[in-house]
Amino acid sequence: MVSTSCRNNILKVFALSMFLVFSSLLVVASADFYQDFDITWGDGRGKILEGGQLLTLSLDKASGSGFQSKHEYLFGRIDMEIKLVAGNSAGTVTAYYLSSQGPTHDEIDFEFLGNLSGDPYTLHTNVFSQGKGNREQQFHLWFDPTKAFHTYSLVWNPRRIIFLVDNIPIRVFNNLESHGVSFPGNQPMRIYSSLWNADDWATRGGLVKTDWTKAPFTASYRNFKASACIWSPNSSSSSCSSKSTASVQDGNSWMNQELDAPGRNRIRWVQSNFMVYNYCTDFKRFPQGLPLECRRSRFL
């Protein structure tokens, strides 16, 4: 007699296998913001420039701004080059993330918390599944993210989520559903980004407020790339097609991507030298015991 949990696991594996067999990879490499994104709020503070090759978001005392992808995705690799707010960015947050909608939403976050001139940005990461987050890790970067564009990437496949900065892994969140840990795996998500005021918490816990004499604050985006499977709401399935078979052949490694030996060395370097908060070591926050995934996975 096959148990219910075993039967469910078999069905999940079968569904994933069928998904991979009948889906091909759509590679979006045009970096055309007109084609791939909509500016959704900000009353003109978000701008697409240079014939669709550059997007900027700005924040002043009246409002911030934001954009979202035209498509929803179910698994893929997302790359974006971002240059963050320069100078005194205290109180500001530049968010760049994948998210579904609703009270049980999934979400995979990069949030860049501004700081006083000369102090480092804090890169805040989080993973939500079925509406549950509280999986924060924070880092300082090993470069000034306001001087030039740097690439921030998310690899999301059925087995793991990998956060990368300039192709260096900084965090991995593994699929541990077999151990009772929920994982973002069945809700299609859009790409979102926004620049907004969060001076009640963003910088030193809200002690440092936004200096509006420095406004407008501006973040810039370019070279968006998505090797990803686009969700088709009409058929309620992932309907992937190829624009370039050469690109497909070169770009589909994300579906099974994991850390090789050099990747493991790099993530150890990042986490040893630049991690400033890890929920998996916060025993005061979890006096009844750390979350299950913290005890089951080496790199989170």
127 vs 246, more confident? 127
Whole-angstrom distance, CA of residue 156 vs CA of residue 74 = 8
Q: Of 296, 298, 293, 295, which is closest to residue 127 (Cα–Cα)?
A: 293
Q: Residues 212-235: pLDDT tens digits? A: 999 999 999 999 999 999 998 776
Cβ–Cβ < 8 Å for 149, 220: yes
Number of Cβ within 10 Å of residue 105's Cβ equals 17
Q: Of 57, 84, 60, 53, which is closest to residue 68 (Cα–Cα)?
A: 57
Work out the average pLDDT over 275-285. 97
| % of the chain with per-residue pLDDT over 70 | 83
| % of the chain with per-residue pLDDT over 90 | 76
Half-sphere exposure of 274 (CA within 13 A, CB side): 20
Is pLDDT above 50 for 183? yes
Question: What is the pLDDT confidence band of residue 207, given thresholds at 50, 70 and 90?
Answer: confident
Range of lowest pLDDT (43-57, 150-164, 198-212): 198-212
**What pLDDT does 124 receive?**
97
Work out the average pLDDT over 100-115. 96
Question: What is the pLDDT confidence band of residue 137, given thresholds at 50, 70 and 90?
Answer: very high
Q: How far is CA 106 from CA 132, 159, 189, in A?
A: 8, 15, 8
Whole-angstrom distance, CA of residue 69 vs CA of residue 191 = 5
Q: Tokens at residue 151, please?
A: 């690439």
Q: Tokens at residue 183, please?
A: 């994982």
1 vs 136, more confident? 136
What is the pTM assigned to this prediction?
0.87
DSSP 163-188: EEETTEEEEEEE--GGGT---S-SS-
**Residues with catalytic annotation?**
107, 111
Whole-angstrom distance, CA of residue 137 vs CA of residue 228 = 25
Burial annotation 240-272 (CB, 10 A radius, 16+ → b, else e): beeeeeebbeebbebbebebeeebeebbeebbe
Whole-angstrom distance, CA of residue 72 vs CA of residue 85 = 27
Question: What is the pLDDT confidence band of residue 204, given thresholds at 50, 70 and 90?
Answer: confident
The H-or-E segment that residue 37 falls in is strand 37-41
**What pLDDT does 236 receive?**
60
Is pLDDT above 60 for 13? no
Cβ–Cβ < 8 Å for 106, 128: yes
